[in-house]
Amino acid sequence: MGTFLLLLIMGAFFAPAQAQYLEEFEDKVTEFTLDNGLHFIVIERHDAPVASFYTHVDVGGANEPVGNTGIAHIFEHMAFKGTHYIGTTNWEEEKKVIAAMDQAYQEWLAEKYSSNPDSSIMEEKWAEFEQLQEESKQYVVNNEFSQIIERNGGSGLNASTGADFTNYFYSLPSNRAELWFNLEADRFKNPTFREFYVEKEVVREERRMRTESSPVGRLVEEFLAVAYTAHPYGRPVVGWDSDITATTIEDARDFYDTYYVPSNITIAIAGDVEPDRMKELAETYFGDLREGEPAPPVTTLEPEQRGERRFTIEGNTQPIMLIGYHGVSESHPDFEALNLLGNVISSGRTSRLYKKLVDEEQLALQVGAFNGFPGSKYETMFLTLAVPNMGVELDTLETAVYTEIDAVKNGALTQEELDRARTNIRASLIRSLNNNTGLARNFASTHATQGDWREVFRRLDRIQQVTLEDLQRVANEYLSKDNRTVGATVRAES
């Protein structure tokens, strides 16, 4: 969509007529909740004979048990391995081998972590585990789940795991909607844990690539561990390597039983569908999904920081600096002001940090600030990432960043900068709602985290209400030295 057309839409719908636009959208949205607590949002868009299906599970890295970091991501991988009748040649025999394999792995773990491990017992149990894992392969029909979707015209099959969520999504021709209900219900009602230990190694390899072999990944992981003392936001979503090793199928089943309950799941369907038919199919396929106990909330609160925290990581890499401040959750009144502040400071070539540090003083190759990491359901971080130019010391760059932040604290921002930031955020929202998948994702996640999909649009009211005085106030309240964590990768001394 062109920029001019985008601005026309924004002017028509998200200025004085925003409430009217929301009313028009409400006419296209149908919601219902099954008796077991599973909530559905159906958005009618009859432009083309397709529909997108989005399953949002209100569980992520922040919900994982101690010792099982990464388990939300591991379970996400399991959802693509099929069901009791897809992806297997003989489920009755396969499940026996899977159970025996997990038992052997647990026994190997028990010996490994005992106070005086016996290497001969470990070797015996590991050999037994490997033999059973090899035996299990004979029952596996690789990629059958995804191939069924592809043969029926499906696209975009994927999933993602974050600190606050796990999402599963893909699109199908609208006349294949019942196929989605059949597949989605079965893979969540009857998880098989097929190739569990194979997928654990895939997750471990992701960790190696995204964290251990990535200077930015290593810096971010260390930063969160230093910035958070108590809250689980300080743990990596991909998991610690030792926790990936220690996680078993039994652990994953307990995790599923705890968090994959209907009241913790929101499903959004956007496209060429009829709401009454969707409700009929929902009751048919998901009505018998076990109700379970409500998922336990995260109750740990991050204690107030008592002073600046600093660390460095040595390595033969480009120096990188990360500066972060503890902020607020998305439900807090100051959240949007901090979002706007990040946009004003660093979004695009006209932003303060870019103009000053990249264009004018040429201190940085790259600089950016943003709010809401690693998640936003709980108290989050306001971050600035900066990469120095060749020959520029990190101390010099850090001082320059603080100079710009101090200017904001002293009231240097202009109304033009605030208006531009509002336009950027509105444009980003419009783009995210410009297709079925974006609609389904936004509505499902917003309902799950804020209780009502309408908050997608009410957010624009909150943005509009933020003033220059608000930006100055939150800069002074949150971007303080005592509330700051600073981390950097530096070249190792030879």
**What is the rounded distance in angstroms from the CA atom of residue 397 to the CA atom of residue 364?**
7
Residue 177's closest CA among 57, 33, 276, 288? 276
**What is the rounded distance in angstroms from the CA atom of residue 479 to the CA atom of residue 408?**
10
Instruction: Give Cα 359 to chain centroid, integer Å.
Output: 33
171-180, 265-274, 432-441: which range is least confident on average?
Answer: 432-441
The string of pLDDT tens digits covering residues 121-147 is: 999 999 999 999 999 999 999 999 999
Interior angle at CA 89, CA 87 and CA 94, nearest 5: 90
At 490 the three-state DSSP class reads strand
pTM of the entire structure? 0.92
State the pLDDT confidence band at 425, using cuts at 50, 70 and 90: confident
The string of pLDDT tens digits covering residues 373-423 is: 999 999 999 999 999 999 999 999 999 999 999 999 999 999 999 999 998
Q: Which structure tokens are listed for 341?
A: 């502040």
Query: In the chain, which segments carry CATH 3.30.830.10?
Result: 24-88+140-287, 309-491
The string of pLDDT tens digits covering residues 442-493 is: 999 999 999 999 999 888 889 999 999 999 999 999 999 999 999 999 987 7
Mean pLDDT throughout 269-298? Answer: 96
Mean pLDDT throughout 243-269? Answer: 97
Is 393 or 10 the better-scoring residue by pLDDT? Answer: 393
Residue 9 has pLDDT above 80, yes or no: no
Tokens 């893909």, located at residue: 170
Q: What one-character-per-residue DSSP string does 164-185 give?
A: S-EEEEEEEEGGGHHHHHHHHH
Which helix (H) or strand (E) element contains residue 344?
A: helix 335-346
Give the count of beta carbons closer than 10 Å to the beta carbon of residue 293: 9
Residue 59 CB-half CA count within 13 A? 28
**What is the rounded distance in angstroms from the CA atom of residue 233 to the CA atom of residue 20?**
38
Q: What one-character-per-residue DSSP string does 2-71 give?
A: -HHHHHHHHHHHSSTTHHHHHHHHHTTEEEEE-TTS-EEEEEE-TTSSEEEEEEEES--GGGPPTT-TTH
Identity of the amino acid at 419: D
In b/e form, how buried is each residue of 229-261, taking b as 16+ CB within 10 angstroms? eebbbbbbbbbbbebbbbbbbebbeebbebbbb
The string of pLDDT tens digits covering residues 61-84 is: 999 999 999 999 999 999 999 999
pLDDT at 315: 83
Residue 102 · residue 279 · CB < 8 Å: no
Residue 365 · residue 388 · CB < 8 Å: yes
**What is the rounded distance in angstroms from the CA atom of residue 438 to the CA atom of residue 65?**
31
Q: Which structure tokens are listed for 35?
A: 């008796």
Interior angle at CA 256, CA 149 and CA 113, nearest 5: 120
CATH topology of domain 24-88+140-287: Cytochrome Bc1 Complex; Chain A, domain 1 (3.30.830)
Residue 74 · residue 328 · CB < 8 Å: no
Q: What one-character-per-residue DSSP string does 131-155 give?
A: HHHHHHGGGB-TTHHHHHHHHTT-E
pLDDT at 21: 60
CATH architecture of 309-491: 2-Layer Sandwich (3.30)
State the pLDDT confidence band at 317, using cuts at 50, 70 and 90: confident
pLDDT at 350: 78
